[in-house]
Chains A and B, each alone.
Chain A
Amino acid sequence: MIPRPRPKRFRLRRTMMFMNAQKPGLIKDAYIYGCDSIMLDLEDAVAENQKDAARFSLYHALKTIDYGSTEVIVRINGLDTPHWQEDIRVCVAGGADGIRIAKCESAQDVLTVEAAVLEAEREFGVEEGRTLLMAALESPKGIINAYEICTASKRMFGVAISGGDFRRCMGTKFTKDGVDLMVARGQMLIAARAAGIQCFDTVFTDLDDDEGFMAELMQNKAMGFDGKSLINPKQIRPVHDLLAPTEKEVIWATKVVEAYKEQSAAGVGVFTVDGKMIDIAFIPGAERTLRLAKACGMYEGDLV
């Protein structure tokens, strides 16, 4: 048994890669690729009559494989299926870091799952509150209720949009400029930020369209997404490269945080760095940049 560190609600989740819980040959190597999180899937990747087998595979995969510092999330079946309760039991018993609630439409959905998770934590002697949650918004109702979903529980660390299912509900098709999902993405991002949690964009399924992938990534970055769901390891590197801060940004952030530490120790709240006015409002952003830089190996200091 590999003891796993306590899951952290706030951590880097630039890349979240989907993996089929029933492909043991692939899972054992998942962490080599260096994505921030992997998502073991009990839902759409698993055939209806193999849901039971997938749970056994998942349990042992959680307990025996060394994932290093990669987070392990499990996508459970929707609340409209007969599977979700047993899914939650096996996730908690196996020690998954978090659970992804598919087809989440309301705060009640989150609360229902949370109650079952708490019960499972008690049943299996897992520290109460350890298992995190995230919601996948796949329908218009889910998007409308985004803020209440984000704030429904202290375990919630993020929301993601499931593009395929959402487009089906809306009767729209994928467009290159992202207009089909623009409003949904925007609304979800605003809700997540207001709630203070992370926001992830949907998967890009055309593995041969490198240009299209980059275009969507750049739009994701510009809109403020924290990370993206992936379906293939070859997508990891472009996301990490794009979300990495530039050297200039790292140097600037270092100056800002250093200056702040000095100045606030001397009792000064507003000061200039390189001719620009800086106050405490700038610090979280600068610290975030440094944390990202540290993850990419661009920053080795101890300011964060």
Chain B
Amino acid sequence: MKNAVGRDIPDFLLKNGKEVYQGKFYMDGKYIQKAGPKTRRYEKPQESKIVDSIVDALKLCGAKSGMTFSFHHHLRNGDYVANMVMEAAVRELGLTDLTIAATSLGDANDPIAEYIEEGKVVALQTSGIRGKIGDVVSRGKLKTPAIIRSHGGRPRAIEAGEVHIDIAFVAAPTSDCVGNCRGIGGKSNCGSLGYAITDSRFADKVVVVTDCLVDFPNYPASVEAIDVDAVVVVDSIGDPKKIASAAARISKNPRDLMMAENVAKVIASTPYFKDGFSFQTGVGGPSLAANLFLEKFMDERQIKMGWAIGGICGPMVELLKKGKVGKVIDVQDFDLDAVNSINQTPGHYEMSASQYANPANKGAFVNKLDFVVLAALEIDTDFNVNVLTGSDGVLRGAPGGHPDTAAGSKCCIIVTPLIRGRMATVCEHVVTVTTPGDCVDVLVTDYGIAVNPLRPDLIKCLDDAKIPHVSIESLKEKAYSIVGRPDDLEWEDNVVAVLEARDGTILDVVRQIRPYKG
């Protein structure tokens, strides 16, 4: 069945009430009955929940074949925990037919690809899917289609019972003996633990894995002891160098700076740019550099940013410390500056993925967001964005908070070079739709700016500010005139991944790529 972005969704996926994407805010006003976990009562007092090893924790929680395990990705490329747990489950306990419901998976999780090939892991639910796992799933080795969700869509699905987590594993930089966790104060700090919070409240069992045991009570706690079954202390939960990079530096690349300046000009031309405005950026070159130019406009007009959200890094913390932004609400920290600031710098707070972007609650932060600046792997002439599949059809990205912030914000700006190597970013049809075009407002490239025709109000803003803009078709033609028109990718029939929109409807599918035949 064709959905609202013109993608054909196979009928076999439309069962159990699953519908196709029908436009943003389609589910507004509907009611949900939330699904609760089945939890054990620990009425008798326990002094400590510490068990000797991950295997012991698995046994305590009654781990069985066929279960769903969840992990968060706050330790990013430095994470050891997901791999340690899966190795214990598969190699030591001999479990099989497992489902991994991670908030995201990356290169750090390459060892899991082996379990997929062996058929020990048969299902995946995640935002990010990259590296060896992305490769293996693209080649059709995962028994069931992987389900890809945004950061907001995941807590929605968990709360609605679409994802039932048997055991949630929470990697915690610090924990006390009964499972109060924080993202700072240890040796592998990650700052915010926002992605772990929903899991800790809705999973049947919760296991905390930490490498730094601290005194009770470890307060204020991000994950609370009232939700935790067991605590495991290991030597190391991750590699600190890969968890938080050294302070993110603003690009000096003239192309990035040129695009960043244009982004700031567009923002400043809209009526939403007034004292107290709210803002979110990504961490890519031009996105981050936009902070710099935005600050200049803020100074010129003598206005301040009311609040900023998102994945946070150094430059945003700088603005907070300079008093140019009122509050920073943080779901993930990317660099050491941000890790060291959260809950320390006044005004820098943690939020959960649900508070950040869940479309099914009574109003997440993205609903009040004025501006978001994002990147894209591809964007087509309907402004649909792809941040998941490379142009070769292989899974190597993540929707993350992209679809959520695009849908909620008043002005969503995508900034990207027109061409990367020989690949046109602006194209006829994106390989996979991860953010639908009706949520994307402005595209800024190094060859020009395009505004979505669905926003005549923004077109007028740019015209009034004398900011030149062109049609997105002309940008596509320009791109193809430089790199040549690419051949279409060829696909097998079987579906390897399903893209859920943030509201749970199906946005797109990814099929197995057919290898090139000379």
Contacts and interface: CB of A to CB of B under 8 A. Distances in A.
Q: Do chains A and B touch in the complex (CB under 8 A)?
A: yes
Interface of A: 25, 28-29, 32-33, 66, 232-234, 236
B252 interface: yes
A232 B255 CA distance: 11
Given A232-B254, A233-B255, A236-B254, 16 more contacts: A25-B421, A28-B482, A29-B255, A29-B446, A32-B255, A32-B258, A32-B446, A32-B447, A33-B254, A33-B255, A33-B258, A66-B481, A233-B254, A234-B252, A234-B254, A234-B257
Nearest to B446: A32
Contacts of B258: 32-33
Contacts of A32: 255, 258, 446-447
Q: Which of A29, A32, A232, A236 has the most CB of B within 10 A?
A: A32
19 contacts: A25-B421, A28-B482, A29-B255, A29-B446, A32-B255, A32-B258, A32-B446, A32-B447, A33-B254, A33-B255, A33-B258, A66-B481, A232-B254, A233-B254, A233-B255, A234-B252, A234-B254, A234-B257, A236-B254
Interface residues of B, number: 10
Interface of B: 252, 254-255, 257-258, 421, 446-447, 481-482
Contacts of A28: 482
Nearest to B466: A297
B249 to A, nearest CB: 14
Main DSSP-derived SS at the B contact region:
helix
Contacts of B255: 29, 32-33, 233
A236 B252 CA distance: 13
B485 to A, nearest CB: 15
Contacts of B257: 234
B265 to A, nearest CB: 13
A29 B253 CA distance: 13
A28 B479 CA distance: 11
A32 B419 CA distance: 13
A18 to B, nearest CB: 15
A192 to B, nearest CB: 29
B292 to A, nearest CB: 14
Q: Which 9 A-B pairs have the closest CB atoms?
A: A233-B254, A234-B254, A32-B446, A33-B254, A28-B482, A234-B252, A32-B447, A32-B255, A29-B446
A27 to B, nearest CB: 11
Contacts of A66: 481
A25 B482 CA distance: 11
A32 B417 CA distance: 11
A32 B253 CA distance: 13
Contacts of A29: 255, 446
B391 to A, nearest CB: 17
Contacts of A25: 421
B99 to A, nearest CB: 43
A28 B255 CA distance: 13
A253 B258 CA distance: 31
Contacts of A234: 252, 254, 257
